[in-house]
Structure 1
Amino acid sequence: MKIGVNTWVWTSPFGTKDFGLIPKIKSMGFDIIEVAVDDPSLIDVALLNKMAQEHALSITICGAFGPTRDISSDDPAIRRNGVDYISECIRLAQAVGSTLVAGPVYAAVGKTRLVSAGQKARERAWCVENLRAVGKVASDAGVTIGIEPLNRFETDMINLVEQAITLIHEVGHPAYKVHIDTFHANIEEKSIPAAIRMAGSLLGHFHACENDRGIPGTGHIDWVGVRDALRDIGYDGPVVIESFTPGAVEIAKAAAIWRPLAPSQDELARQGARFLRELLG
């Protein structure tokens, strides 16, 4: 398993101006830089690829799904924009040699409502239709899309690994895998190790986040159970720390980051990398 860190730990939106993070991330002991794509136009893709290669870092791509990128919206223009955005993330991934785009691709983050069964069915149908279309784009590019369950305060569509698996089967396209984030799973799953084992060979991406999104290993996540479950299913994919800086106003609001989660963002990443190295061996 390779260890990575998401650029949201330090900044949002990530762009060419932030490429100084690349050598820093390498020096902290990471194998992967996970690029959070708030705005693709801000990223010099060729330079990103060149610098990542120079510092022997692999790249994974994480999507940012605001209200204008909702493929299950009742507004056709928003649905199209969501499909276009995911497709652009796939092209970016292909350009930097990444085989993964991950995140809550099915709906806008923060879309939490009690709606009728008929409305839910319509949104589900739009979601499935658009994921099938995007799946072909991903397969043609050699990219896997990770479907990330979020907690109940951030989405009303996919909260559990079981629900993500059901959606993947409904879409019926091999480009899709499950993306587990332990922060969300800590709220929604009865047992994170059991959820990992349920995903099994469908697990395609893993966010190793503490229960408060602070430094991994300093909270109450059952990390030994997580490690054992990952080993049991033979998972050998990325294990990425995702957190957020309270200095980035929009992302801090979306993720409800109202206070510092560590002495510094550098310490969050550095100590987290050290903990995961020791945990995973």
Structure 2
Amino acid sequence: MEGNMQQSLQPQQLLLQPLRQNRRHAKPSRAMTAPVRAGLVLPKNLIGIHSGVFVGDWKPQDAERAIKGAKEAGYDLIELNLSVPEEVDAGLTKELLDKYDLKAAGSLGLSQATDISSSDEEVRQAGIKLLTGAIEALNTAGGQHFVGVNFGAMDKYRKPLTAEQWKTCAKSLKEVAKKAADYGINYGLEVVNRYETNILNTSYQARALIDDVGMDNVTIHLDTYHMNIEENSMEQAIKDAEDKLGYIHIGESHRGYLGTGSVNFEGLFRALAETGYEGPLTFESFSSVVVSPSLSTTLCVWRDLWEDPDDLAIKAHKFVESNWAAAYQLYARPKAWTKPT
């Protein structure tokens, strides 16, 4: 965010509280109740939101609706759905981003037909072509973070990962990551649950794959929704990522209003503060109220977890901003900090 957090937040606001009560929602997460330290410089991480909160398509009117909505809700960044890059007018998107003073990231999930970990060379090349097109569109739009399930099919595999699949995946990633590096784009591998990939289910696995790829611009993209399913803890996942953590999705266990599910946001924000995380914090939520042909069925969005995108966006921004500020003030350490002996 761009320096407005310190002015807009009061100490009593810096509490991890649910932002909407609803009979369908679970009990709220635990609260941060310790006092904040006055006068501490607050972090400047970009707070982002997925475009799917506002729109399902990216026609000109949809693009402006989403970008304007993100800006009015207080966000610094909007994450574009680049699953079908040819349907995204990247030039127009750049104009709108400039108009509303917003930054962009891009994401997608590969399919079985574009799986770059596949032993079928025709499928692998189709995936590389899709990823290259998405990276080029993001570059035109001015984005610097390309994330998502961009290393294999976002689908339920019926067999465990093979050594050949891992090797092919690393080989393919090196090819597409070089293209991203030419544009100065960070290539973030999203760690997702076992029902959406058999390649990367934990932060530890992502670190290992990055080591095999050997490209400096390949980073780890963690998502609280998936971490809540697969990781031992939020803290351990962040520790395992070490300095390769480059992007965070903030989502609730049911993908609705933040603070009303089972995700341990207190542990998440504390660990991010302690490790000095400087990347984007992007809110992601899905409801059948906003239908995306390329996402809704893939992500199994069958329920209406919210009805008003603007209300959801505003409250999610307040939740992320206030709790990140609180954690930063409580737990952040100077980069030169060393443990006392």
Residue in 1 aligned with 2:77? 32
5 Å matches for 1:3-82? Answer: 3-19=47-63, 20-82=65-127
> Do the aligned partners of 2:256 and 2:286 also contact (CA within 8 Å) in 1?
no
In 1, Cα distance between equivalents of 2:208 and 2:109? 23
In 2, Cα distance between equivalents of 1:77 and 1:255? 26
* Superimposed CA distance per residue, residues 216-274 of structure 1 (whole angstroms, 9 cap, x where no aligned partner): 22212111211111111111111001122314255222112211112433322221111
Residue in 2 aligned with 1:178? 220
Identify if the C-alpha distance between structure 1 residues 15 and 235 changes in structure 2 by more than 3 Å, giving closer, same or farther.
Answer: farther
* Superimposed CA distance per residue, residues 3-46 of structure 1 (whole angstroms, 9 cap, x where no aligned partner): 11111223334343411211111001111111011211222111
- The one of 272, 276, 281 equivalent to 2:320 is 276
Residue in 2 aligned with 1:103? 148
> Do the aligned partners of 1:34 and 1:60 also contact (CA within 8 Å) in 2?
yes
Matched AA of 2:197: T
Is 2:267 the partner of 1:222?
Answer: no
- The one of 266, 277, 297 equivalent to 1:253 is 297
Identity of aligned residues (%): 31
Moved more, 137-146 or 90-99: 90-99
Matched AA of 2:133: E
Q: Helix, strand or coil for the counterpart of 1:122?
A: helix
* Superimposed CA distance per residue, residues 190-212 of structure 1 (whole angstroms, 9 cap, x where no aligned partner): 10122112212110100001111
Is 2:140 the partner of 1:112?
Answer: no
**Structure 1 stretches of at least 4 aligned residues deviating more than 4 Å after TM superposition:** none
> Do the aligned partners of 2:55 and 2:66 also contact (CA within 8 Å) in 1?
no
Is 2:190 the partner of 1:145?
Answer: no
Identify if the C-alpha distance between structure 1 residues 61 and 127 changes in structure 2 by more than 3 Å, giving closer, same or farther.
Answer: same
Gaps of 5+ in 2: 1-44, 326-341
In 2, Cα distance between equivalents of 1:251 and 1:61? 14
Residue in 2 aligned with 1:166? 208
Bigger relative CO (Cα 8 Å, ≥ 6 apart): 2
Matched AA of 1:96: A
- Which structure has the larger Rg? 2
Q: Helix, strand or coil for the counterpart of 1:180?
A: strand
> Do the aligned partners of 1:148 and 1:178 also contact (CA within 8 Å) in 2?
yes
In 2, Cα distance between equivalents of 1:61 and 1:15? 16
In 1, Cα distance between equivalents of 2:116 and 2:294? 21
> Do the aligned partners of 2:146 and 2:188 also contact (CA within 8 Å) in 1?
yes
Identify if the C-alpha distance between structure 1 residues 189 and 140 changes in structure 2 by more than 3 Å, giving closer, same or farther.
Answer: same
Question: CA RMSD, aligned part only?
Answer: 1.6
* Superimposed CA distance per residue, residues 144-179 of structure 1 (whole angstroms, 9 cap, x where no aligned partner): 100111101111111000000000001111120000
Q: Helix, strand or coil for the counterpart of 2:296?
A: helix
TM-score normalised by structure 1 residue count: 0.94
> Do the aligned partners of 2:83 and 2:134 also contact (CA within 8 Å) in 1?
no
TM-fit CA distance, 1:88: 1.5
TM-score normalised by structure 2 residue count: 0.78
In 2, Cα distance between equivalents of 1:14 and 1:230? 33
In 1, Cα distance between equivalents of 2:58 and 2:240? 34
TM-fit CA distance, 1:275: 0.8
> Do the aligned partners of 1:208 and 1:241 also contact (CA within 8 Å) in 2?
yes
Residue in 2 aligned with 1:231? 273
Aligned length: 278
Matched AA of 2:135: I
TM-fit CA distance, 1:67: 2.2
Identify if the C-alpha distance between structure 1 residues 232 and 124 changes in structure 2 by more than 3 Å, giving closer, same or farther.
Answer: same
